[in-house]
Structure 1
Amino acid sequence: MSAENTTQAGVYDETCSWAEAYAEDQRRYVCLHIPSSSVDQPKICEKHCPHKLSYVLAFESRWRGVCDRCDRSLCVRVVYSHQETAVEGFLVGRHPPPVLPRPRGEGEREEDILNILYSHPLPTSINDYKSHPLYVLRRHLLKFEAIYPVDSKILGYCRGEPVLSRDCVFTRDEEPYKVVKARPKKGMSLLERDASTVEVFGLWQTEVYVPPPVVDGVVPRNEYGNVELFQPSMLPAGARHIRIAGIQKVARKLEVSYVPAMIGWDFHSGHCCPVIDGIVVAEESEEMLMEAWRQEEQMMIEKEMKKREARVLERWKKLVRGVLIRERVQRTYRLT
C-alpha cells in the first residue's frame, strides 16, 4: 500500500479502513493509517473517514466491535444505545464468527471501557439502564437474574427508582438462590407443567472448574471423546493445546495419544454442532509432534513445488509445439 497519488484535500479510502498491530510491550493494539503515514493516531483515522463514524469493526480470524479504540465518546454511545448487540446480531446471520479463545488485549480493552463509563455520571433515562455494564434497575432484571444481597447499596435514583450496581458480594451457598417456573416440555401434562420448577444458582455460588490431570501421557476425555476447552483454565494439567490445521494426521502417524479440543458450539439452522479447534496432547509429546509436523509441511511444500514445475514444463511443451506447428503450416502453404 502507498500514499502516492493522494491529494492534499484528502482522497482516502472510501471504505474508511486502516490496519492495526498488537504491541506486545504495551499490551494493546496500535492503529496504522497508511495514506497519512500515521502511527497510533486514532483521531486521524476518524478525521479522514468520508462519513461520521457509527460503528467500527475489526477483522482477523473473526470480527468484533472496536469502537473504543477509535472514539471514546462513540464507545459510550454504542454501549448506552445497545448498538453493539444490534450490529453483531445483524452480522451473525451473514458472517458467523468462529468460537475462539479471547483475543490478545481483550482484558485491557474491557477495563478501558469500564474506566470510560465510570467517568460519566449516572444515566438520566430509564432506557439507558437496560443492559448497562455498571448499573441496573430492578424492572430490567430477567427471569434468571436476581439482586444479591437483597439490601445492596443504592447508588442513586432515576425517576424515583433505586439504581443498583451490577457487582455482587461473593458468598458460597449450596441452596438455590432463586426458584423459577420451568419451561414446558413436550409431552408434559398440565399438572406437571404447573408443578415443575428450576433451581437457579448465582455466580457467587460457583467455583472454577479444575479438570483431571494427564496421567502417564494419556489426556483425559469426556464421554464423547474430546476435551472441553471453553476457557483456557479448562486445559488439563500437564497438557498442551496445539491449534494447527492437519496436526491430527501427524499425531495418528506417530501414534501419539491426543484428544480433539472442543472450544464451543456452532448454532445453525436450528441445530448445534461442536466446534473443534486443534488437539490436546501431553506436554512431553509436544516437541516431538511439532518437529514431525514441520517435516510433514516441508515435504508437502516440496511435493507442491514439483507439481508446479511439472505443470510449467507441460505448458512450455504446448507452447513450443504450437510454435512449430505454426511454422510448418506457414512453410507448407507459404503464408505470411
Structure 2
Amino acid sequence: MERIRLTNTVFEGLNNVYVLDGPADGGDPDELVLVDAGVALPEVREQLADGLADLGYGIADVDRVLLTHWHADHAGLAGAIQSESGATIHAHEADAPLVAGDEDSLLEERRLQGEKFREWGMPEGPRAELVDFLEGHADLGGEPCDVEPFADGEEFAVNDRTLEAVHLPGHAAGLTAFHDPAADEAFVGDAILPKYTPNVGGADVRVEAPLASYVGSLLELIDLDPGTAWPGHRDRIDDPAGRAATILRHHVERTENVVDALADLGPSTPWEVSAALFGDLHGIHVLHGPGEAYAHLDHLAEAGVAERDGTRYALVDADPDVSALFPDPGIDRVVEWAGE
C-alpha cells in the first residue's frame, strides 16, 4: 500500500488517497485500486497523476476506486478517473446517488439543507454567505459517473487482500471504513481523524439523530479495534480505538458546554448556541457550526434533558448527568493528536 497526499485548501486539508497496487510479497498486481480520489481541482488531479507516476502508473491504469463517502474532497475526482480509465467506482448505497450526480438526490440534499437552515435559526446574512459558498464550490464534486453501490459487510477482493466494508454513519450517511483483518488495519475516511474531530450534524444533513448515529459508529470502531487506521486526512492513527474513545469523550464535553450555553442564554436556536460555542463563523463553518450545535441539542432533546419549541431549545433538567447520556467506551486510554 502507498499513500498519495493531496492538497485541499477548501475543506479540512491534506487529503489522502491510498494506492492498493499489489500483493504483499511484491509480485505484480492483478489490479490497481484506490481508496478515495481527492477533490476535483486541476492542480489536485495533477498531484494524483504525479503520485501515481512515481509508483509507475497513470490514471488510465486505475481499475477500481473504493470511496469512503460522498464528500467532494474524497469523491470529487472519481468521475474524471472513470472517464480516463474506465474504473469501477464503489460507494455505500446511502451515498452512491450523490457520487453518481443523480439530479433528484442532489436536489433533495439541497432541499434538506434549506430546511435545516430554517430549523437552526440561521440569519439571512450568514445563510446567503453559505449558499454563495456552496454554489461557488459546487464544481469540486466533479463530473457524474457510474457507481456500483455496496452495503455494510460487503467484501472486496483486492489482489491478495480482502477488505470488508464497515458502515460508520454520522459524519456522512454512507461513510464506510474498509477493514483488512489480516493486515490489522482499516481505511477509515473521516470516521476518525488524527487532528480534528469530524463534523457531525452539518456535514451531511441527511443523517437522522446525527450524534447518536456517530457515537454508535465510534463504538463500532472501538469494538473493531484495528491496529492501524489510515484516515482521509493527515497521518496514520496508531491506536484507532483509543482515538475513537477520545473523540467520544470530546462529545460528552461538548454536550456539557451546550447545556451550559442553554443555562446562560435561556431558550435558544442552534445558531445562537453555535455562536456561544464557536463565535463568528465564515465559509463552510457557517454550515458546520450550527450543525454541530444542532446535533448536540437534538441528542439532549431525545434524552428528555431539553425540549424543542419551534426553532428553540430549552433545558428541562437544569442539572443533568450528561455522561449518563453516552455509553462507556470501555477503554481508558486517551489518544491526542501530536505532530503535523
Which structure has greater helix proportion? 2
Q: Which has the larger radius of gyration?
A: 1
TM-score range, shorter chain: under 0.3
TM-score w.r.t. structure 1 length? 0.24
Highest RCO, 1 vs 2 (Cα 8 Å, sep ≥ 6): 2
* TM-score normalised to structure 2 length: 0.24
